């Protein structure tokens, strides 16, 4: 997995923006000013498939079928495109850590 920004298809980007927008709307529907929804999203290596889970970390969500995972927090004032950038940054960071681990393994 390299250059995740370029590898997200327009369809996956649109799906993720819709998901994030819906999660923000759910947060906005609460009366708690500190409302936060933790979301774990798992991606296939080619970033063409994903699954997600909100809430607790029960290891039963569809994201655990995928090898590349990110965790984000969705707040009342979150912006979907900024959350998408955070997802991409976490995937890029994970790729860099993986490369470093390979360097130190051999």
More confident residue, 86 or 34: 86
* pLDDT tops 80 at residue 85: yes
Beta carbons of 39 and 24 less than 8 angstroms apart: no
Give residue limits of the domains in the chain: 4-105
* pLDDT tops 70 at residue 106: no
Beta carbons of 74 and 30 less than 8 angstroms apart: no
More confident residue, 15 or 56: 15
Structure tokens that stand for 61 in this block: 């969500």
How does pLDDT run across 27-68, given as a tens digit for each residue? 776 666 666 788 999 999 889 999 999 876 666 778 888 989
| Residue for token pair 């079928």 | 65
More confident residue, 93 or 96: 93
More confident residue, 96 or 37: 37
Q: Which residues contact 72 (CB under 8 A, 6 or more apart)?
A: 38, 39, 41, 83, 86, 87, 90
Mean pLDDT, range 64-76, rounded to an integer: 89
Q: Tell me the pLDDT band of 14, cut-offs 50, 70 and 90.
A: very high
Global confidence as pTM:
0.79
The rounded distance, in Å, linking the Cα atoms of 54 and 73 is 10
The rounded distance, in Å, linking the Cα atoms of 102 and 81 is 32
């Amino acid at each position: 997995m390299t250059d995740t920004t370029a590898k997200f298809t327009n369809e996956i980007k649109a799906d993720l923006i819709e998901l994030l927008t819906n999660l923000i709307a759910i947060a906005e529907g609460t009366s708690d000013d500190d409302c936060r929804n933790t979301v774990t999203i798992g991606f296939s290596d080619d970033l063409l498939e994903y699954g997600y889970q909100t809430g607790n970390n029960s290891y039963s969500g569809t994201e655990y079928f995928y090898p590349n995972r990110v965790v984000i927090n969705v707040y009342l004032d979150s912006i979907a495109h900024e959350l998408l950038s955070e997802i991409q940054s976490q995937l890029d960071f994970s790729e860099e850590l993986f490369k470093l681990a390979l360097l130190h393994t051999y």
